[in-house]
Amino acid sequence: MSHEFTRGKADQTLFIKREDRELIVAQVYVDDIIFGSTKDELAHGFSKLMQAEFVMSMIGELTHFLGLQICQQDSGIFLSQSKYTKNLVKKFGLKSASSVRTPMSPNVKLTVDLLGKSVDPSLYRSMIGSLLYLTASRPDISYSVSVYARYQANPKESHMTALKRIIKYVKTTAEFGVWYSKDTNGVLAGYSDADWAGNVDDRKSTSGGYFYVGNNLVSWISKKQNFISLSTAEAEYINAGSCCTQLFWMQKLLHDYGICQEHLTIYCDNTSAINISKNPV
């Protein structure tokens, strides 16, 4: 900050500096820094500045970060965790397992399964933790992993079998990731959906949301709701409210980058929930 950088208001680990019409941003994570600029000279100047202040190594263009692989192209950026995925499959001994086309069966609903045979909870939690980190670039498994994570306290064979299915799925789709196109805009939009009483054990609903900047997916969530909803409309309305708070945070974050977005759009497929949200009371 002594070099005229300003700290982000939404994200305290983000630092921004503007010179005329040029911009340089630096994102700090513990002792790692990702930085970039609209002008090469500013980026090189920041590199020299940091090396003069601290003992540090400069890796160069961003290709890997905390297990993420970043492929930068003229048309956009591709973010994936293929190397991490392959190590995960090998770690849990499923390298030669048969492949599956979906992360979970659409016909099976897991329960606590009190009569089932118990499995090693440490192994189960290790698998859940590894898959949770993989959801950073894999929105297609976020719902499945969040469902199976509910049974970490007392996992059974049925839970372990279902969990291994996700690993078999990611083995086949190790190269999947998220594409961020350069040809986009700053329009914020969120897609909200919820199942009603989807959890067989406590009848709580599960919230889901996908959030876009232009045509780029930048955030996603799948989480069991804290309360029991009495109707589909209530479950959808509660989730829409949660998605709204996420969009407001993203709006503040974009403002730190100098992108002002006045209108936020949430898409919901429940007419009753939409009508309730329009009620000024």
Q: Tell me: the pLDDT tens digits for 215-251?
A: 999 999 999 999 999 999 999 999 999 999 999 999 9
279 pLDDT band, cuts 50/70/90, is: confident
Report the relative pairing of strands 264-268 and 188-195 from DSSP bridges: parallel
Across 143-148, average pLDDT: 96
Q: How many CB atoms lie within 10 A of CB 113?
A: 16
Q: Please, are residues 24 and 40 in contact by the beta-carbon 8 Å criterion?
A: no
108 pLDDT band, cuts 50/70/90, is: confident
Residue 78 has pLDDT above 90, yes or no: yes
Element (H, E) at 72: strand 68-72
* pTM listed for this prediction: 0.90
Share of the chain above pLDDT 70, in %: 100
Across 68-92, average pLDDT: 96
Residue 258 has pLDDT above 90, yes or no: no
Q: How far is CA 270 from the centre of its chain?
A: 24
Name the least confident of 99-103, 213-217, 275-279: 275-279
Residue 280 has pLDDT above 80, yes or no: no
Residue 213 has pLDDT above 80, yes or no: yes
pLDDT averaged over every residue in the chain:
94
Q: Please, are residues 177 and 79 in contact by the beta-carbon 8 Å criterion?
A: yes
Share of the chain above pLDDT 90, in %: 87
Across 117-124, average pLDDT: 97
Residue length of the chain: 281
3-state helix, strand, coil in the chain (%, to 5): 35, 25, 40
With respect to CATH, is domain 185-277 assigned 3.10.580?
no
pLDDT of residue 152: 96
Strand ranges inside 174-248, DSSP E: 177-181, 188-195, 206-213, 216-224
pLDDT of residue 114: 93
pLDDT of residue 45: 92
* Annotated domain spans of the chain: 6-60, 80-172, 185-277
pLDDT of residue 174: 96
Q: How many CB atoms lie within 10 A of CB 133?
A: 17
Quick one: CA torsion of 55, 60, 65, 71, rounded to 10 degrees? 180
| pLDDT tens string 22-36 | 999 999 999 899 999
